[in-house]
């Protein structure tokens, strides 16, 4: 699943400490692989799957070095469930420049 946010009005590149706040509801968060996709299609891995992490939900803020990316454009949060059985959804997410 992916969710997009359009960024406008920011001059230059994104910061080296781009804050990506995520609120993902899921019944086994270890199943999830989470990437931030920049406007040019570059992917920044924020979370790998972990079969031993059986807790619910991912509610946190990741820091991404996106300084080589132009800030303006459509950014995407891509969440992949690499195992079956459990379900979830992106509740919300945000970028803080």
CATH number reported for the structural domain that contains residue 66 in this entry: 2.60.120.260
Structure tokens at 13: 């590149």
Is position 12 within any domain? yes
Specify if 61 maps to a domain. Answer: yes
- Residue 41 belongs to a domain: yes
Question: What pTM does this model have?
Answer: 0.95
Domain that holds residue 52: 2-86
| Residue 48 falls inside a structural domain | yes
Would you state the pLDDT for residue 11?
93
Number of domains in the chain: 1
pLDDT tens sequence across 33-87? 999 999 999 999 999 999 999 999 999 999 999 999 999 999 999 999 999 889 9
Tokens of 10: 């920011």
The answer to whether residue 44 sits within a structural domain is: yes
Of 4-8, 11-15, 44-48, 82-86, the range with the lowest mean pLDDT is 82-86
Measure the CA angle with vertex 12, ends 5 and 97; round to 5°: 50
């Amino acid at each position: 699943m992916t969710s997009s946010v359009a960024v406008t009005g920011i001059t230059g590149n994104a910061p080296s400490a781009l804050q990506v706040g995520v609120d993902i509801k899921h019944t086994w968060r270890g199943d999830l692989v989470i990437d931030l996709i920049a406007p040019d299609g570059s992917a920044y891995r924020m979370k790998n799957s972990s079969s031993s992490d059986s807790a619910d939900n991912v509610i946190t803020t990741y820091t991404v070095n996106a300084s080589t990316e132009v800030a303006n454009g459509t950014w995407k949060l891509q969440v992949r469930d690499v195992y079956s059985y459990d379900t979830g959804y992106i509740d919300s997410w945000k970028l803080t420049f």
